[in-house]
A = this chain, B = another copy of it.
């Protein structure tokens, strides 16, 4: 193994890029599946998926808890779910004044889309 090719990346506040080839190419290893399943799991909750779509479709491509009021759960619950989406590498966040603003991580989604889309060919 060449150490020159191994780059240690900061874990927090960096895009988490999926590891894996299209699903038709070869079976995922246990480790690859572990990493990728976490992203699918984050989108596997209806409230989180709705919140995710709210952020993704919000003007300017970002939203804070202050922009979200109609999903039928309390503001602390919204914050909790947004943090889970961030922890899964699907959203990034930036604090500005009182609020934390979330935006979609484009690279990760494109890679997930490719993972799935390629499997459908």
Question: Interface of A with B (CB < 8 Å)?
Answer: 23-30, 33-34, 36-38, 40-50, 52-54, 56-57, 71-72, 104, 106-110, 112-121
Interface centre among A24, A45, A117, A119 (most CB of B within 10 A): A119
- The count of identical subunits is 2
**Contact A27–B44 (Cβ < 8 Å):** no
Q: A23-B52, A52-B23 are in contact. Are A34 and B46 (CB under 8 A)?
A: yes
Nearest CB of B to A70, in Å = 9
Shortest beta-carbon distance from A33 to chain B in Å: 4
In the complex, which residues of chain B have a beta carbon less than 8 angstroms from the beta carbon of A117?
109-110, 113-114, 117
Q: A113-B117, A116-B109 are in contact. Are A43 and B37 (CB under 8 A)?
A: yes
